[in-house]
Structure 1
Amino acid sequence: MSERPHVTGLDVDPETRCRHYHSEFDRIAIRFHCCGEYFPCFQCHEAVGCNNKSVWPKEQFNEKAVLCGACGNELSIRDYLDCASSCPHCAAPFNPGCSLHKHLYFEV
């Protein structure tokens, strides 16, 4: 079994919740296009990330760039955007409110 990717952020728990987003359903991390590192949220990236913000272009939506904090499965961006707020691998629910921030991570 492969090791889970490292998630950088502020007060990150084992399911990728952080200081900014820590409800029961906040359990994804996003690999940022600009630096290739996983962060729980855009605020963590702003606080301790690369300072070179860029979003994933649509033509790269097949890249694995979303990590389920429950099972450690990496989802493609397309799979994440189409998943209806639950992990297609383990069925753990994701926060549906994250869709309000997708423009911060992905080209819309």
Structure 2
Amino acid sequence: MAHSLTVKGIGVDDETRCAHYHSENDRIAIKFFCCGIYYPCFECHQAVGCGNPKVWPKERFDEKAVLCGACGHELTVQEYLDCSSSCPVCSAGFNPGCSLHKHLYFG
């Protein structure tokens, strides 16, 4: 495992892929604003999370909330939104389709 943080979800592997999203580039986890716990996706949070989903407010986009499953680097929300196609540290690719769901995580 490239990181020591706990990532909750269903069928989570060492690079944070889950039962819902498990392609080669599905390797991030999001720290949910509501509970402060990392999950691979909104579906995992819905299944085993706190039951009270809340998105990150824009005024807190400078806080670390995205985990690269390849190297364990934590990105701030803004860093992730600015470079969402790959990790700025290890260059591992991120799934560009995640941008379709950003409204579920970030305000």
TM range, normalised to the smaller chain? over 0.9
Structure 1 position 97 matched with structure 2 position 97: yes
SS in 2 for 1:54: coil
C-alpha displacement of 1:106: 0.2
Structure 1 stretches of 4+ moved >2 Å: none
Q: In the comparison of the two structures, how many residue pairs are matched? A: 105
Secondary structure of the structure 1 residue equivalent to 2:67? strand
Deviation at 1:4, TM superposition (A): 2.2
Distance in 2 between the 1:53 and 1:60 partners? 16
The gaps in structure 2 that reach 5 residues or longer are none
Structure 1 gap segments, 5+ residues each = none
Alignment of 1:1-108 (within 5 A): 4-107=4-107
SS in 2 for 1:51: coil
Whole-Å separation in 2 of the counterparts to 1:60 and 1:44: 23
CA displacement at 1:84 relative to structure 2: 4.1
Between the aligned partners of 1:20 and 1:99, the Cα distance in structure 2 is 16
SS at match of 1:79: helix
**Amino-acid identity (%):** 70
Give the alignment's Cα RMSD to 1 decimal.
Answer: 0.8
The one-letter amino acid of 1:53's match is P
SS at match of 1:22: coil
**Matches of 2:5 and 2:85 in 1, distance apart?**
21
Instruction: Supply the distance in 1 between the matched residues of 2:84 and 2:74 (Cα, whole angstroms).
Output: 16
* Partners of 2:4 and 2:104 in 1: CA distance: 24
CA distance, structure 1, for counterparts of residue 60 and residue 90 of structure 2: 24
